Structure 1
């Protein structure tokens, strides 16, 4: 991997950005294994992911931190390997300190783990729905993407399409608690549909129902906030002027490709 020159800013200034992404834990595991063994392929085996996914993990962390975290090494009996940089060591130290501090804070509150889910995630996406993974499946053995079906506490089921590498890095499997994220601008709200058509099989478009909580008129589109069964909200837009009123049953539609899976 080609090294990037550190920016003129404080070398530590961007490192915390690599920890804002709540899915970073397995990526950090890759970095830890590189530090321990000096090999990307060995790190991949230890973490239980593909070689490609291991490099994706390193690339993502390096991009988030703005610093080169791993360098290739040449020569030696093995023909070369990988070496963690000082910035990479600093990132691991920071991650360990934050994990320790988080455990201390959560230990002071009963049920604190559930309360803290998603609180460290900073994003413009207004739709953030806690869910549990029901299943993960690929369309075929050669397909680089995976269909992930997740269900909210109130029974709302959604499909998301992610790459195999991302599914591996997140450790997605039935029973895993996740957050489904989506931009409000990617959601269309209209009249209610029967049932939940996304619950049967993978679908490019997910449809699910809720009750209109409020409508904010706009010039071309009206913003609609839906209350979902079991708690939670989902925000989308309906063409202006919308006939929807508070208390109406309505349907949200969103592309599976627009749903982002994150760990809380």
Structure 2
């Protein structure tokens, strides 16, 4: 098994302690099927794909590949990166149990379930409703004026796209944001509008919105809105909604629009 960048895979581990994302990945390795993994984990097929998209975004590595043909038809299997992520997850679970025993949280020899939140560790097991979680690097923080409490943070994705998040200067200062700082960008899928076309050039620092360009990977139809998953350059994914019925088709170019203030910046550490 090849050696992989632990810092990037660690982001996936740090954000999957208290939900079923790692369980989905593990069950895909056991069953060779995403649909079967979803059934075994007790979640929907769409939620299983969401788990894979999020883990892929956070790790920056391809974790699952689709297989075609064979007696059972197509399926899925873990990549070497996916297998190593599970090895790291098991090692972290063992270390976590050891720490809890050391500080008296468990009796000697006791067990802690993998999905048990750890309230004493400052939210390490925190879950979030934000579907979109994207690893980025800070390009620059731009303040309109010395008296303005708002700052526009320009960010670059792994695929080279640029985003703008508008936050307070105090928040940027507390996070110690500067050029080259690695961060996570989070955004609610319900705050993202998907439409056909290409992204316009990035505008002025205080622009009210920002966007990402990609290709449609999946569409889930709804009564009033259709959920659209975009595949971005660099292997990441971004989720948003289009009015039903959506005219887009898988493979089409599309743009995700959102308010710059809707992008939350988090430190991976």
The normalised TM-score by structure 1 is 0.56
- How far, CA to CA, are the matches of 2:169 and 2:204 in structure 1? 22
- 1:119 offset after TM fit, Å? 3.5
- 1:174-216 CA-partner distances (Å, limit 9, x unpaired): 00000110000000000122x4433664421112210000000
Aligned partner of 2:194 among 189, 192, 209: 189
Does the CA-based 8 Å contact 1:147-1:159 persist in structure 2? yes
Contact 2:214 2:232 (C-alpha < 8 Å) held by counterparts: yes
Q: 5+ residue gaps in structure 1?
A: 1-108
CA distance in 1, matches of 2:200, 2:184: 19
SS at match of 2:174: helix
Which of these residues, 201, 217, 227, is aligned with residue 231 of structure 2? 227
Q: Would the aligned equivalents of 1:196 and 1:209 in 2 still touch at CA under 8 Å?
A: no
> Is this contact kept in 2: 1:126–1:235, CA < 8 A?
yes
Q: If you compute each CA radius of gyration, which structure gives the higher value, 1 or 2?
A: 1
| Counterpart position of 2:149 | 144
Residues 259 and 176 (structure 1), Cα distance of their counterparts in 2 relative to 1, 3 Å cut: same
1:120 to 14, 26, 33: 14
Aligned to 2:137: 132
Given the superposition, is the C-alpha separation of residues 110 and 240 from structure 1 closer, same or farther in structure 2, using an over 3 Å criterion?
A: closer
Q: Deviations over 1:43-84 (max 9, x none)?
A: xxxxxxxxxxxxxxxxxxxxxxxxxxxxxxxxxxxxxxxxxx
SS at match of 1:115: helix
Which residue does 1:211 correspond to in 2? 215
The counterpart of 2:254, out of the listed 247, 250, 253, is 250
Q: Distance in 2 between matches of 1:117 and 1:199?
A: 31
Q: Structure 2 matches for 1:24-43, cutoff 5 A?
A: none
Number of aligned pairs? 155
Q: 3-state SS of the aligned residue for 2:14?
A: coil
Q: Is the 8 A contact 1:156 1:208 kept in 2?
A: yes
Q: Is the 8 A contact 1:196 1:208 kept in 2?
A: no
- Indicate which of 168, 188, 192 corresponds to 1:163: 168
Runs ≥4 residues deviating over 3 A: 199-202
In the TM superposition, residue 159 of structure 1 has moved relative to its aligned partner by 0.3
Normalising by structure 2, what TM-score? Answer: 0.55
Q: How far 1:118 moved relative to its partner?
A: 5.0
